[in-house]
């Protein structure tokens, strides 16, 4: 149990000019579960590995429990770590794998009885008691990951590090293990740092989430903060599935009321968002309007703020439809419609080519500056403002296709691909910095 403090932490790989992690500052409280999330190559794994002592720190300091650990070996940092590829010792049985860190303990050396007690206790918690005599190759992916967690949890550690522990598992097992990690966290009750590229894992597990891009922190906050008040367009689009719809539009003001005019319709910004725009005296200008697919609702024709859209693709998810629709001016949106309240007649209309009416309220709107892509209603900006290389801009915005949410780009489609080829997917998701290192290595070879 300990605090972790990262101050101006920087990582530049040998032979590389650009930093992989730029001035990373973060205070992690005792017993907090913090999640680093971001796309491949954003530096999340590198940061975790710097905390673990598996990567040298190019600049700044890492403190664990108030002690600067920059020059300490991993074994002296009182950490435990679960690796993406399990990293189980193939020549040892499950029992010996879990007992491995205990057997290495010196001063005082642990007795066989205590080792036995700890190992069997961990195995019981993780439900792997019956596999203790097996070798890792005789276990399934989920069982192997449990063993890896068991090996990490038997040790008395101050910080528990997890580097994409669920990435190699199939979707179903991943959901199951996610729930088990929540339970495990309650049991172990220590400081957790968890790395993932999966925003669902980040949202469900983290007390706070650190959203990263290209080595910069984009936002730090609770899952709710990141979801409801994304600091910029990148966070807005990264958190939430399907991805937030963004529409380039004009923010106008008439008296005290603000309006946006997407797809040729004039919609009033009602509720708190309108009030906030007023309070912050936001100047009318061109903006990116963000609306989450789940905040777009099905309405009757002629309803306030409603507008017609044509269904392009309907993805039936069971409890909801994911509709890929097109407005009259050609803008593409994604809409999530729960199926539970739909009548048979309404369901029958949810097919490609049909025209339906949808609407979104003012409270569902997010407003992003067209230049900086910052949220106009939040204060916290986590980038270095004076650094011209700060990659605050989202790729989608750069491509000038904010609302062109193609069905194949949907996270759901990615999930399906992962489900079909979990190993390949995990390879693709390997941190880009590792790939970079491998490339350099290959070049050297």
Partner 1 sequence: MADKKSMSMSKKRRIGNIVTYVVLILVSVIWILPFVFLVLQSFRTENTGIVNYVFPHQWGFDNYIFLFSAETNFLQWYFNTFIIALFVCVLQTAMQFMMSYTLSRFRFKLRKPLMNVMLVLGMFPGFLTMIVLYQVLKAVGLTGDNAVPGLILVSVASSGMGYYVSKGFLDTLPKSLDEAARVDGATRMEIFFKVILPLCKPILIYTVLTSFMGPWGDYIFASVIALGSETGLNVAAGLYTWLGQSMISNNFTHFCAGGVIVAIPVMVLFMFLQKYYVEGVTGGAVKG
Q: Which residues bind partner 1 (CB under 8 A)?
A: 52-54, 73-75, 79-81, 83-85, 87-91, 100-101, 104-105, 136, 151, 155, 444-445
Identify which of residues 90 and 255 has a Cβ nearer to partner 1 in the complex: 90
**Alpha-carbon distances, residue 248 vs 84, 245, 287 (angstroms):** 39, 10, 6
Peptide bond preceding 108 in cis form (omega within 30 of 0): yes
Identify which of residues 73 and 256 has a Cβ nearer to partner 1 in the complex: 73
Could you give the residue ranges of the DSSP H alpha helices within 326-431? Answer: 344-348, 395-398, 411-420, 422-428
Rounded to the nearest whole angstrom, what is the least distance from the CB of residue 152 to partner 1 in the complex? 8
Rounded to the nearest whole angstrom, what is the least distance from the CB of residue 377 to partner 1 in the complex? 42
Rounded to the nearest whole angstrom, what is the least distance from the CB of residue 155 to partner 1 in the complex? 7
Residues for the chain: how many in total?
445
Rounded to the nearest whole angstrom, what is the least distance from the CB of residue 103 to partner 1 in the complex? 9
Identify which of residues 74 and 141 has a Cβ nearer to partner 1 in the complex: 74
Rounded to the nearest whole angstrom, what is the least distance from the CB of residue 273 to partner 1 in the complex? 46
Nearest to 157 by CA among 130, 188, 135: 188
Token duo for residue 327: 């407005």
Identify which of residues 138 and 355 has a Cβ nearer to partner 1 in the complex: 138
Identify which of residues 214 and 433 has a Cβ nearer to partner 1 in the complex: 433
Which H helix or E strand runs over 13? none
Token duo for residue 263: 């797809």
Identify which of residues 105 and 381 has a Cβ nearer to partner 1 in the complex: 105
Could you give the dihedral angle defined by the CA atoms of residues 166, 169, 175 and 178, in that order, rounded to the nearest 10 degrees?
-20
Rounded to the nearest whole angstrom, what is the least distance from the CB of residue 20 to partner 1 in the complex? 17
Nearest to 84 by CA among 140, 144, 138: 144
Which H helix or E strand runs over 79? strand 79-82
CA 136 to chain centre: 29
């Amino acid at each position: 149990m300990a605090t972790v403090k990262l101050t101006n932490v920087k990582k530049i790989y040998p032979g590389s000019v650009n930093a992989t992690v730029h001035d990373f500052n973060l205070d992690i409280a005792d017993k907090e579960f913090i999640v680093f999330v971001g796309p491949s190559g954003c530096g999340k794994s590198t940061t975790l590995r710097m905390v673990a002592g598996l990567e040298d720190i190019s600049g700044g300091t890492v403190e664990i429990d108030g002690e600067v650990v920059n020059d300490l070996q991993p074994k002296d940092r009182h950490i435990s770590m679960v690796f993406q590829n399990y990293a189980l010792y193939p020549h040892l049985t499950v029992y010996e794998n879990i007992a491995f860190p205990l057997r290495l303990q010196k001063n005082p050396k642990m007795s066989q009885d205590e080792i036995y007690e700890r190992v069997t206790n961990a195995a019981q918690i993780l439900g792997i008691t019956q596999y203790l005599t097996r070798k890792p190759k005789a276990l399934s992916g989920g069982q192997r990951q449990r063993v890896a967690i068991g090996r990490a949890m038997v040790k008395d550690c101050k910080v528990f590090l997890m580097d994409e522990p669920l990435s190699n598992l199939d979707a179903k097992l991943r959901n199951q293990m996610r729930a088990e990690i929540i339970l495990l966290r309650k049991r172990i009750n220590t400081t957790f740092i968890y790395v993932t590229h999966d925003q669902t894992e980040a949202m469900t597990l983290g007390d706070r989430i650190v959203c990263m891009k290209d080595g910069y922190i984009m936002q730090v906050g609770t899952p709710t903060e990141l979801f409801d008040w994304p600091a910029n367009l990148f966070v807005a689009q990264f958190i939430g599935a399907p991805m937030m719809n963004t529409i380039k539009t004009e923010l106008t003001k008439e008296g005290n009321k603000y309006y946006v005019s997407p797809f040729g319709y004039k919609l009033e910004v009602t509720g708190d968002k309108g009030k906030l725009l007023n309070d912050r005296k936001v100047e009318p200008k061109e903006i990116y309007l963000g609306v989450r697919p789940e905040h777009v609702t099905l309405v009757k024709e002629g309803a306030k703020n409603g507008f017609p859209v044509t269904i392009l693709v309907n993805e039936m998810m069971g409890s909801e439809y994911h509709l890929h629709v097109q407005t009259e001016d050609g803008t593409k949106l994604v809409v999530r419609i729960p199926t539970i309240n739909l009548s048979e007649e309404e369901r029958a209309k949810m097919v490609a080519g049909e025209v339906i009416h949808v609407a979104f309220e003012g409270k569902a709107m997010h407003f992003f500056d067209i230049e900086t892509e910052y949220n106009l209603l939040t204060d916290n900006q986590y980038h270095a403002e004076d650094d011209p290389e700060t990659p605050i801009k989202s790729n989608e915005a750069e491509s000038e296709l904010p609302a062109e949410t193609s069905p194949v780009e949907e996270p759901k489609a990615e999930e399906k691909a992962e489900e079909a080829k979990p190993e390949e997917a995990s390879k693709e998701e390997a941190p880009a910095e590792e790939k970079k290192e491998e490339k350099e290595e290959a070049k050297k070879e």
